Every structure is written in C-alpha cells, then in structure tokens.
Amino acid sequence: MEKFCGRSKEIEPGVIITYTLRPDQRPRHPEKGWRGKVLHYDRVFHRTMVESLEEGYDGCEDEVWFEQITQG
C-alpha cells in the first residue's frame, strides 16, 4: 500500500484516515487498510489516536504513527 504523501498539518481531529497496522501489532493481513477517525494528533511525535470505523471494532482506539497513514 502507498504511503500518505500529505503533510502532518492535514491530520487533525475529525479527519477520516486509512492506515496499515505495524508489525508489532501482529496483523493477520498486513496490507489491509483500516479506517479511523482522528481523535488527537501529536505534531511533536507524529502520532495520532484514532477511533476505528471498521465493523466489529467500533469504539476501539489505535495509536497510529504518521508513517502508517496511507490516505488522509
């Protein structure tokens, strides 16, 4: 999957993003794109907290690094 080529300032609360899981999150399908709504973005560490929009994962939160974002 391609990496997101946008700027970190485009990531803000309420934005819907697509991201992949990191290897340490042990994804069954590493190339799968997950959708989530940004709750908070830390511009210093380039990490965001997202609320999952995936069926079956409603309300789950993930920490997503800027490098994981494929679409913003």
CATH number of the domain bearing residue 47: 2.30.30
In terms of residue numbers, what domain contains 58? Answer: 8-71
Instruction: Give the other-Cβ count within 10 Å of 68's Cβ.
Output: 22
Those residues whose C-beta lies under 8 Å from the C-beta of residue 59, and which sit 6 or more positions away, are 51, 52
pLDDT band at 72 (very low <50, low <70, confident <90, very high): confident
- How many other CB atoms sit within 10 Å of the CB of residue 62? 19
How many distinct structural domains can be found in the chain? Answer: 1
1 within domain boundaries: no
Instruction: Assess if residue 3 is contained within a domain.
Output: no
Asked whether residue 39 is assigned to any structural domain, the reply reads yes
How do residues 42-52 score in pLDDT, each as one tens digit?
989 999 999 99
Q: Is residue 42 part of a domain?
A: yes
The tokens describing 2, both together, are 């391609």
- Asked whether 35 and 53 are in contact (CB, 8 A), the reply is yes
For residue 2, is it within any domain?
A: no
Tell me the pLDDT of the chain averaged across its residues: 88
Output the pLDDT for position 48: 95
User: What value does the mean pLDDT take over residues 20-35?
Assistant: 93
